[in-house]
Amino acid sequence: MIRLPASGAYGTFVHPALFYRGQADYLAGVGGFVRAALAADEPVLVAVPGPRLDALREDLGTATTGVTWTDMTHLGRNPGRILAALQEFADRHAGRPARIVGEPIWPGRTPAEVLEATRHEALINTAFAGRQATVLCPYDALGLPAAVVSDARRTHPTLLEGGEALPSPDYADASSVCADCDGPLPEPDGGAPWLAYTHGQLSEVRAYAEAFARGTALSAARRGDLVLAVGEAAANSLAHGGGSGALRLWSTAGSGAGQGAGVVAEIRDGGRLADPLAGRRRPALASVHGGRGLWMIHQLCDLVEIRASDGGFTLRLHMTTF
């Protein structure tokens, strides 16, 4: 039986990684965490992939009043959407220690999705600093690549393995992990032409994206989402990226790893990402610090890849047919 830390056991915020080996191990660890929360009358959010969600529900039976269930394959299809959902759950239960199970990485994720989910895991520690909550993150130690498990040791201050809860000797600051996530993006097959833009050309950017999308497999609704996301990204370039930017678009054929056919849009400008949480948490209505454009982009797209460096800022937006 794994002895899980209670909320606040190592401070006001606890963020352990649980390395499980098989379903019985998963149900003992995650199920035990949920049972302990229910026994303490603490609110619980369980956001895990669908098959794991079903197994937990069956294992826990009917005594799950107070549990909010979410399929992570939908919520976390774009990892940039997860953090806001976790924070909103905690906000709804302000003044109480919230318990959250979040499994953002599972076998079958593409390398690009895993990288952005790893960034998300690192930023949880920044976003929840000072809050009374526990976010438990299960990792399939048998089904995931060794490098993914190794990164989990860097993004989680506490590790749960072999029945013990111990501090992670490899835990790293969020800024260090995010910097490691900012490696070069792979070039598209066959290349893609760039469209440069500056002030007064936002309508041209939108028209260019719309014309390109009409020749792809995207539905009319998804074409509209793409144009809106590209327009928001280009507007950010003009407002925060030095007043100019460049856009390129290309089609993808999809793969057997869960990535459907669709369109990728890449926007580059000379801006800096001053707040690594920008777009990952819902901006307040009265906010004067921006972030609404990135927030909308994360809500619209199936994957958002972010690269921030001294040379500028890059957004790669993925829009698939499903």
Task: Answer whether residue 302 shows pLDDT above 90.
Answer: yes
In this prediction, residue 257 has a pLDDT band, given cuts at 50, 70 and 90, of very low
In the chain, what are the domains?
13-181 (3.40.50.300), 195-320 (3.30.565.10)
Is 18 buried (19+), middle (13-18) or exposed (0-12) by CB count in 10 A? buried
Radius of gyration of the CA atoms of the chain, in A: 20
Distance CA 187, CA 50 (A): 33
pLDDT for 151-167, tens place per residue? 999 999 999 977 788 99
Q: Are strands 44-48 and 98-102 parallel, antiparallel or unpaired?
A: parallel
Residue type, 110: T
What end-to-end distance do the CA atoms of the chain give, in Å? 41
pLDDT for 116-141, tens place per residue? 999 999 999 999 998 889 999 999 99
Distance CA 209, CA 233 (A): 12
Longest CA–CA span in the chain (Å) reads 63
What average pLDDT does range 273-294 have in this prediction? 78
Residue 164 has what pLDDT? 81
Higher pLDDT residue, 94 or 226?
A: 226
Whether 292 and 233 have beta carbons less than 8 Å apart is answered as: no
Residue 255 has what pLDDT? 55
Q: Which two tokens stand for residue 114?
A: 């895993």
Phi (first) and psi of residue 249, to 5 degrees? -135, 150
DSSP 283: P
What average pLDDT does range 203-229 have in this prediction? 96
* Pure H helices in the chain: 23-39, 50-60, 72-75, 82-92, 111-127, 146-155, 174-181, 202-214, 220-240, 292-300
DSSP 272: -
pLDDT for 56-106, tens place per residue? 999 998 778 889 999 999 999 999 999 999 999 999 998 889 999 999 999
Distance CA 48, CA 59 (A): 15
Residue 256 has what pLDDT? 44
Is 160 buried (19+), middle (13-18) or exposed (0-12) by CB count in 10 A? buried
Task: Answer whether residue 252 shows pLDDT above 80.
Answer: yes
Distance CA 146, CA 95 (A): 38
Task: Answer whether residue 282 shows pLDDT above 90.
Answer: no
| CA 42 to each of CA 64, 121, 129: distance values in angstroms, whole numbers, following the listed order | 12, 23, 19
Higher pLDDT residue, 76 or 282?
A: 76
Distance CA 76, CA 56 (A): 18
Task: Answer whether residue 317 shows pLDDT above 50.
Answer: yes
Residue 322 has what pLDDT? 64
DSSP 81: G
Task: Answer whether residue 318 shows pLDDT above 70.
Answer: yes
In this prediction, residue 10 has a pLDDT band, given cuts at 50, 70 and 90, of very low
DSSP 288: S
Average pLDDT, the chain: 90
Residue 92 has what pLDDT? 93
Is 126 buried (19+), middle (13-18) or exposed (0-12) by CB count in 10 A? middle
